Structures are given as C-alpha cells and as structure tokens.
Chain A
C-alpha cells in the first residue's frame, strides 16, 4: 500500500494523571492538546484537524465534551474535526486519510477524562445497553469476563496466565514515574489476593480508572523532518470490527477482530511478527492482552501461559509489552495509552523505562500497537517504526 512510511507521529501531550480532583474532562483534553502541539514544536495556527476519542457521560455539572468545545478552549478554528461514538477506534486511519487527501496538514488526536474524581464512570456503568440491566449485567468488565470464561473453556487459560500480564506490566510501571502504580509493587500473591470483581476477573485483571488526558500530533513524514523530535513513522494500519453484541459473539475466545486487523497492518508494513521489537497493547483487562497477542500470532491458543511465564513481557524480557505499565498499571486514556507510549519509546524519550540498554532489552525499531472498543466489537492494529 502507498501509505507506508508517509505519515508520522510528531508530538505527544501529557497532563497530570491519576487522581486530580476539581478538574473537568474538557480541561484534560485542552491541556493534553496544548502540550502535544508544543511538544511537536508547532503553533496552534498550524493545526487544521482535530479528532477526539469518544466521551463518557459528563460528570455532575459538566457539559459533554465535543470537538468544538476542545477547539474553542484551545483557540483553534480547524478546517476539519470529528469525534467517534462508542467506540470505532479508527482515528489513525482517519487522520492518515485526511492528511493523504490534502484536507489536513496537522491533525491532533485527543482524549481526556476525569474518570477517577467525577461521577462519570458511575453514570456510564448504569447506561442502558438493551435490556442487559434487567439481568444485572452492567459495564465492560462483565462483558470481557464472559469472553474470558468462554476462552477458559475453549483453551488453556485463566488466572495462571493473566497473573503474568498483571505482574509484568506492573514492573514496567515501577520504572515509570508518571504511572499511577509507580510506587506499588505487585507479586503473584497480591494478584490472587486482589479479590473478585466479576469472576473470573479479580481487581488486578481490570484497568485503572484515571483522571487525565493524552494527545498526539500526526502529520506527513515530509513535514515531520522540520519538527522537534525524531518522527515515528506509521508503517501499517488495519482494522476489523466484528460488531456483534457480546452475548451473540462467537469470537469471544478468538479469533477476534485482531486477527484480520493484524493481517492488514502487517501486509501494509511488509513485515511479520518476527520483526516486532515490542508491543503496546490495549489492555482494558488482562485477558484482552492475551487474546490480542494470540490473534496476532505470537503464540497458539492455550500456549499463552508458557509464552508469558519467566518474564517475557517484563523489563529485560524478550518481548516487552505495555512498557509504561499500560492501562492496568499506568493510566487509562483509551488507545492513546498504548499509542503514545510506542511513540515515546521510538523517539527514545522514556528515561529509566526506555527500551534498549537501560532496561536490558533490544533497542526498538518496530513497535506493534493495538486499540479496541466495545467488548471486542472493534479492533485496530497500528505498526510504528523509528525513522
């Protein structure tokens, strides 16, 4: 495909993260975008495209986040803007499409939420999804738990596998001063003692609930050459959206949308999983990491426990995964937790968690990223390369 190597991530914006009371969701979008624009070495006048991840229901006293509000508060008047709704996760494809068509020159992609300190998550949990609530079925954890239970029946998996993911990612978070769990270690015993939420998931199978935001700036590789950081090239993109409600889905135990999305992305990039140096995987739950890597072809069904054990994904491991701590141990900013970490790693800006000599791992050329939405209804695979 002609899009390989043509577009790049050139800036990353962070905000205070974790529990940051007294702030609106909008304020995190605005701060993350402003920081991403400055990080790229751009001026707000340069930005002509603004894309926002979906917003959860607003907390008490807040207005729903919309792209025009984000633009308004940034003093932008973009020529194109959009926001996805529950949860297409097509943003990188979308941004590249707008850039390649010439309709945009510099696109900012943003997420922000006050999930920890507002009542938004409570409202989100009680939002109706058909008549699921009649039977006491609420929220994403239980949906993914249904998938995980079916997987436990279909192939060898379960807490014995997932503990390696929870603990492995925590070890990365312990190297990341920005991670919510930076100062808290986790042992296998801690994992098992963390208590059931929706069985078969314990608390430590669940991602964090975070205040904060994250944003990226995307532009052409050509324009990227004049900017501040070493550009991170987008070399592969693929998406597949099985779309079925979780209770009708036959893909809960795989293959999920990840398989076809990865085939498309690897086809575009002209590489295989053997060329991947690290992975930044959307990890709303531990099982999500297992089924994604399984569908990407790193191991076969039921081989996950053997693949993960002995620290495969940890600092010093042979396939680092979720090197910021991920959504399980750093912070939850939808697909921007994995994508921004991949960009930072490939720019070489990760300090004591930097892949390479600092963590006794291979210096990364290629990082494989994922994003998925709903309960395995949508899946995006993105492959990034150091320029």
Chain B
C-alpha cells in the first residue's frame, strides 16, 4: 500500500468512541438520555439541556448535503494529487452534521440538499474514514 500522506484522526477522550465505531463501519453519535438531542462533536454534556446522561447510537448513515466546497488548491501536500476535491457538510437523519468528502460523484452534479449515504474508506490498520456518495436511486 502506498504510504498515506494525509493527516489521520487524533484520538482523544471525547472522540475515541466515534473512531472505534468507524473502524467497525458504524457512525456512532452521542444521544442525550434526557432530552433526546443527538450531538456532534462529542462532548461531556448535552449542549441542549446540560444532562450528563448519554448513550451512543449508530446512525443510519443516510443524510442530505447541507453545503460543499471544491478545493482547487492543496493546502497540504497529502492532497496535492487530489485537487480538485470536494469537502462536504452532510446532515445526517439523526440530526448532527459531519464534515466529510463526497466521492463517486462528478463535481458538477453535487447540489445542496441532495440525498447521500456513507461509504467507508479503510485507510490504515487503525482508521476507517466515513465518506459520502449520492444515494442510489
């Protein structure tokens, strides 16, 4: 496998469960047991009601395109063979939005609010990355 030059996730006490989930091809988010708010990024308390009572749920991986941009310049050497590439803000059915990439879609066909679903890229022994493509009709 070609050496992976892009930055990898930095795991900390807040986001560890998310990245463990990704390795298992599951998008895991925290859900407040009191008010039901599903939050991202991971956090100690619910920003909606300040409850500490939290469970991790698995997202359906389905959502819509909230916004997207096309990078024509590589700010990091790991992406210089990728330009132009699409960075997207995907709104999942459960509520949170995830910064991610759009794959398997010509850039001219990307539109806000289009339905998308997660696809997994197994990058290293430790990390699989959630990316998104248009939902098959």
Contacts and interface: CB of A to CB of B under 8 A. Distances in A.
Interface of A: 125-126, 128, 130-139, 142, 145-147, 149-150, 152-153, 195-200, 245-248, 252
A128 B7 contact: yes
Contacts of B40: 248
| B interface, size bucket | 35 or more
A134 B7 contact: yes
Nearest to B68: A149
Given A149-B68, A153-B113, A198-B70, A126 B76 contact: yes
Interface in B73-89: 73-76, 78-79, 82, 84-85, 87, 89
Contacts of B111: 153
Nearest to B9: A131
A310 to B, nearest CB: 30
A371 to B, nearest CB: 24
Given A130-B41, A136-B101, A146 B69 contact: yes
A247 B65 CA distance: 11
Contacts of A136: 6, 71, 74, 76, 78-79, 82, 85, 87, 101
A133 B7 contact: yes
Given A135-B87, A247-B89, A153 B67 contact: yes
B83 to A, nearest CB: 9
Given A134-B7, A136-B6, A248-B40, A125 B67 contact: no
A150 B90 CA distance: 12
A246 B79 CA distance: 21
B72 A139 contact: no
Contacts of A198: 69-73
B99 interface: yes
B97 A138 contact: no
Contacts of B131: 135
A247 B10 contact: no
Contacts of A135: 87, 99-101, 129, 131
